[in-house]
Amino acid sequence: MAVALKGGPVASALTEKTIALAGDLAARGVTPTLAVLRVGERPEDMSYERGAAKRCAAAGVIVRSAALPEDVTQEALMDALEALNRDESVHGILLLRPLPAHLDGEAARRALRPEKDVDGVTDGSLAGVFTGSGRGFAPCTAQAVVEILDHYGIGIQGRRAVVIGRSLVVGRPAAMLLMARGATVTICHSGTEALPEITRQADILVAAAGRMGMIGPEHLTPGQTVIDVGIHQDPETNTLRGDVRSDAAEPIAAALTPVPGGVGAVTSAILALHTAQAAKRQL
């Protein structure tokens, strides 16, 4: 029976770090502040915003939420971003995406000031992840994968890791972070053939395909550590589920992150930590 790699204890340990950092900053008259910019009222965005606000509050990080109407113009969006870029009391900016189709998300992403890019979306931050220079911040979800493995003492060096998903938000940066830590990494994606044959070879399997329940027993072998990044609302049961069928994985894998209560909980704790680290860098 797989050990549950719960996100709560990992998030709590990260929050302790953030509290300590926020305490140092308070002594220097600075309160780390994250601006969350949302366009429209997508339930997913609002739920992520609530989770992040709660986790930041527990860590001594202020969250300032700004919401623009669904039909906002590109110009007004860019103005709002520019105002946050210039505001010295704001240390981190999270732009919730995807944006409505009439907006140019690429232009918005590129407009973020790199020092304030606490979710690692700009090219500069991603370059830091790919070169290993340590400049900028890694995307929070990708970093959450590594933080969970480290917290539970699961070795990465020399292990075979298979990452399903090649997005710049999760799959690709997670693969780079695992490789930087000495894993031999295979990235699988929608064009990959014979996926189960590849995933069965993994010591560490990271599922970030965004397909509910796509990982079943045929993808798994005993002893594996499975990190399930997927988050889906199951329309039949109205519960949250991952990319991995937990009923199939639990009897086979050695360890598995639950959904909910796994990667998602850690992601927002990392966002708070990055904001405090950004505030320190901006002193």
Which positions touch ligand NAD (CB under 6 A)? 141, 164-167, 169-171, 188-190, 192, 195, 208-211, 214, 229-232, 263-264, 267
Report the 3 state secondary structure along 164-195.
ECCCCCCHHHHHHHHHHCCCEEEEECCCCCCH
In residues, how long is the chain? 283
Three-point CA angle 94, 61, 261, nearest 5°: 75
Q: How far apart are CA 211 and CA 233, in angstroms?
A: 11
Closest CA to 61 of 102, 28, 22: 22
Strand-pair partners of 3: 255
| Cβ 28 to ligand NAD shortest distance, Å | 31
| Cβ 193 to ligand NAD shortest distance, Å | 10
Closer CB to ligand NAD, residue 103 or residue 265?
265
Closer CB to ligand NAD, residue 88 or residue 193?
193
| Cβ 100 to ligand NAD shortest distance, Å | 17
Closest residue to ligand NAD: CB criterion: 167
Closer CB to ligand NAD, residue 157 or residue 238?
238
| Cβ 242 to ligand NAD shortest distance, Å | 8
Closer CB to ligand NAD, residue 31 or residue 210?
210
Q: How far apart are CA 187 and CA 40, in angstroms?
A: 34
